[in-house]
Amino acid sequence: EDKVVQSPLSLVVHEGDTVTLNCSYEVTNFRSLLWYKQEKKAPTFLFMLTSSGIEKKSGRLSSILDKKELFSILNITATQTGDSAIYLCAVESDQTGANNLFFGTGTRLTVIP
């Protein structure tokens, strides 16, 4: 059965800390892994990863994929209160039919001033 597992489920840190969020997956015919940040309504797209070992970076956020070990990490350095959100990981599968996007349940990050 295809699945995406995120850890930890929740995390509380102080401003300035560095955090690492984990996403592991078992998905048939992997195509890509996506990270989203969800604050209020809709998740906001952060990264799409398709190749192992290539780090994607945007400001204080970075992410990398390991297709051999089937996981990805999302790093946030020098955290700010505005980073408080739920971070979702999703894996896209390259298979026919509708069920080709699998979401984890998210990691809730709280950044305390």
Partner 1 sequence: DVKVTQSSRYLVKRTGEKVFLECVQDMDHENMFWYRQDPGLGLRLIYFSYDVKMKEKGDIPEGYSVSREKKERFSLILESASTNQTSMYLCASSRTGIETQYFGPGTRLLVL
Q: How far is CA 19 from CA 40, 46, 75, 113, in A?
A: 21, 16, 6, 15
Segment interacting with partner 1, rule: CB under 8 A, options 15-23, 60-68, 75-83, 102-110: 102-110
All residues at 6 or more sequence positions from 42 whose CB lies less than 8 Å from its CB, including other chains: none
Backbone dihedral angles phi then psi of residue 76, each to the nearest 5 degrees: -130, 120
Whether the CB-CB separation of 9 and 105 falls below 8 Å is answered with: yes
Q: Report, in Å, the least distance between residue 106 CB and partner 1.
A: 5
70 binds partner 1 (CB under 8 A): no
Length of the chain measured in residues: 113
Please, what is the minimum distance in Å from the beta carbon of residue 84 to partner 1? 10
The one-letter amino acid code at 36 reads Y
Please tell me whether residue 20 adopts helix, strand or coil conformation: strand
Q: How far is the CB of 49 from partner 1 (least distance, A)?
A: 13
The H-assigned helical ranges of the chain are none
Site string for partner 1, 9-48 (x = CB under 8 A): -------------------------x-x-xxxxxxxx---
**Does residue 81 belong to the site contacting partner 1 (CB under 8 A)?**
no
Closest contact distance (angstroms) between CB of 69 and partner 1 is 25
Residues that bind partner 1 (CB under 8 A): 34, 36, 38-45, 86, 88, 97-101, 103, 105-106, 108
